[in-house]
Structure 1
Amino acid sequence: MNTLTDSLWRDNLKVVYLYDIGSAKALSKFMVPGWITLVAVVSGSIRFSESLCGAEISAGDIYAVPGRAEVDSFSGVLRIWLVSCTAEFAVSSRIVRFGAGYMEIFARQESPVLAVNGKELRHVILLLRLLKKKIGSRHAVFKDEMVLLYFNMIVYEYIDLRYKYGKNKAILHYRNDKIVMDFISLVQQNSSRHHDVKFYAECLFVSSGHLGKAVKAVLGISAKRFIEMAVLSEAYLLLADTQLSVSELAEHLNFDSPAAFSGFFKKNTRLSPTQYRLSLKF
């Protein structure tokens, strides 16, 4: 099997072009369980199976692979583009600021197969190529920002196609999905003031344990971690505003002290807030 891939960003984000694939087992290695995955099929077809339903995608299709789906078989000369990432990467890519709709497309336990036209498929593949090129660039200025930009462009392009081609397709709304979507919306609105899982559980009229299990099952990360990543995402944006001191930022994000905020930020980024702010100038 021939693959085009890059070593950079491999821990959290993967963009690959796959062709000359020898077996379903070999293909399955690129479908990491629990990761958020989009597949664009250039030629051939793939059959997925999972506990609730299966799906078959072929040339011209774009598909958000459910977390529990497995590759059952494929046929023809298979050539596909695949982009996948961890839930933490998606959260840190500012999804909380963009709303629950961004994450909802990946939280479903069933996803429609989108049969797009040739122009639309080429446009998505162009974005995938640009993302892959930017990931592989070793000395690009604003590399992090460009990777996030292209990644989000791909997701929004998918959302647009989802509304165009998938709006009349029946989608099963599972109870855990509904709880998690409401949780994401609440985090979007309240993460700057409320950092505890208990607050969100009470708003949703469920126990903290039940909420934690639902979020883990649907998103693959804990509810606490999702909240932390949402707070971190907000902190990134606030640190870019040089009008706010670190003390003011800590107060805005409802930390007990600037030291508590600095400790939280450094634990997650290995940089102090001041170091991160200085890095933005280079």
Structure 2
Amino acid sequence: MLGEEAAHGTEFHVHYNKEVIEGNPFPFPFRSCNTAVLLMLEGRIKVQIDLQTYIVGPMDTMVLSSQSMIHILEIIEPVQNIGCVFTDEFAMTNMLNYEDIRLFRLTELNQTPILSLTEDQYSIIFDIMTKMYTLNLSQSEHNLYKKAKIFHYFNLLALEMMEMHRSGVNQANLKTNRKKEIIHEFLSLLSIHVRNNRNVKFYADKLFITAGHLSKLTKEVTGNTSREIIEEAVVMEARNLLMETSHSLAEIAEILHFSDQSFFGKFFKKKMKITPKSFRDKYK
């Protein structure tokens, strides 16, 4: 994400934005590759996570699971935060308690990825994060137990977050919402099949509902139609391919199952107001 080289290569990373962020660093939607736990130190942002909009402020945590659809809509007040980013493989390998993985993957449906902390809870999470950050930066040959310390702090973070999360859920007395569950399943399917299928009926069939019912639910819950959500996911996939690979535009068009490069270019420009080539030149 932001900052320093990770102690565990690309599997685990801690970043600390000590300088406040005033401008939006990524103004268009994107899909997260890894899981992230972020603690907001100051400032306020308006962010959309899996098509749900939240206002996140000081002493709030965000748990962003891998493959989440994220869109930073607005930096309301200059932001400062600290957080860790890690792969699913890192979590599976390093977590002592398998149940804690459920928190970081947010597989318990209808539980908000945003949690507002008390001052005591904030102090606990900030202390763990800063210790991991310091260890992550350390190049000292005398720090023989660096990886072991990070391992234990990571598990402590998981335990503390799970306890706080469950407490918050119990206080809110949340009930299962079938509509949101269907949308969650739709987004999960979309992340898997977006390159190969843009047909609403394809996803509705896998959810055992009609295309009309799926469109009605997505419009009701998110404000967008199923078609709009699918097209947005295709655009995000195209952006990722343009920024993160060396594939030619023709190859990307083929990967995303467009009939030809010209049709892909027109689709991308209509959605992004910029050509694929110009986007790649600007952001890669």
Structure 2 length-normalised TM: 0.53
Query: Contact conserved, 2:92 with 2:101, CA < 8 A, in 1?
Result: no
The answer to whether 1:166 aligns with 2:166 is no
**SS, match of residue 25 in structure 2:** helix
Which residue of the partner structure matches residue 124 of structure 1?
125
Distance 1:94 1:43, change over 3 A: closer
Aligned-pair CA distance for 1:25: 2.6
In the TM superposition, what whole-angstrom CA distance separates every residue of 1:69-88 from its partner, at most 9, and x where no partner exists? 23222221211111111111
Match of 2:162, SS?
helix
1:143 to 146, 162, 165: 146
Counterpart of 2:52?
A: 53
* Mapped contact 2:34–2:87 kept (Cα < 8 A): yes
Aligned to 1:114: 115
In the alignment, structure 1 residue 41 sits paired with structure 2 residue 40: yes
What SS does structure 1 have at the residue aligned with 2:79? strand
Q: Find the counterpart in structure 1 of residue 234 from structure 2.
A: none
3-state SS of 1:92 partner? helix
Residue 22 of structure 2 contacts residue 75 of structure 2 at CA under 8 Å; is this kept in 1? Answer: no
C-alpha separation between the residues in 2 aligned to 1:4 and 1:34? 17
Matches of 1:132 and 1:27, distance apart in 2: 27
Are 1:34 and 1:68, in contact at CA under 8 Å, matched by a contact in 2?
A: no
Structure-2 separation of matches of 1:115 and 1:72: 20
- Which residue pairs with 1:15 in the alignment? 14
In structure 1, how many angstroms separate the alpha carbons of the residues matched to 2:156 and 2:32? 24
Q: Which residue in 1 is equivalent to 2:101?
A: 102
How many Å separate the matches in 2 of 1:100 and 1:62?
20
- Structure 2 counterpart of 1:146, one-letter code: K
Contact 2:40 2:61 in 1 (8 A): yes
- Give every structure 1 segment of 4 or more consecutive aligned residues whose post-TM-superposition deviation is greater than 4 Å: 26-29, 175-178
The alignment partner of 1:25 has SS state of coil
Q: 1: CA distance between counterparts of 2:155 and 2:27?
A: 25
Shift of 1:120: 1.5
Residues 27-68 of structure 1: CA distance to partner in whole angstroms, max 9, x if unpaired? 989x97131111111111122214431222101111212422
Q: Deviations over 1:89-140 (max 9, x none)?
A: 1111135xx1334334423365422211122112111100111111222221
Deviations 1:229-267 (A, max 9, x none): xxxxxxxxxxxxxxxxxxxxxxxxxxxxxxxxxxxxxxx
Gaps of 5+ in 1: 179-209, 211-282
Kept in 1: contact 2:35–2:86 (CA 8 A): yes
Q: Is the 8 A contact 1:107 1:177 kept in 2?
A: no
Give the direction of change, closer, same or farther, for the CA distance of 1:4–1:50 in structure 2 (3 Å limit).
Answer: closer
Aligned length: 174
Q: In structure 2, how many angstroms separate the alpha carbons of the residues matched to 1:13 and 1:27?
A: 25
RMSD: 3.1
Report what 2:73 is aligned to.
72
Structure 1 CA distance, aligned partners of 2:73 and 2:7?
30
1:168-183 to structure 2, matched below 5 A, reads 168=172, 170=174, 174=181
TM norm structure 1? 0.53
CA positional deviation for 1:10: 4.3
Tell me the percent identity.
10
CA 1:163–1:144 in structure 2 vs 1: closer, same or farther (change >3 Å)?
Answer: same
Alpha-carbon distance between aligned partners in 2 of 1:161 and 1:56, rounded to the nearest angstrom:
19
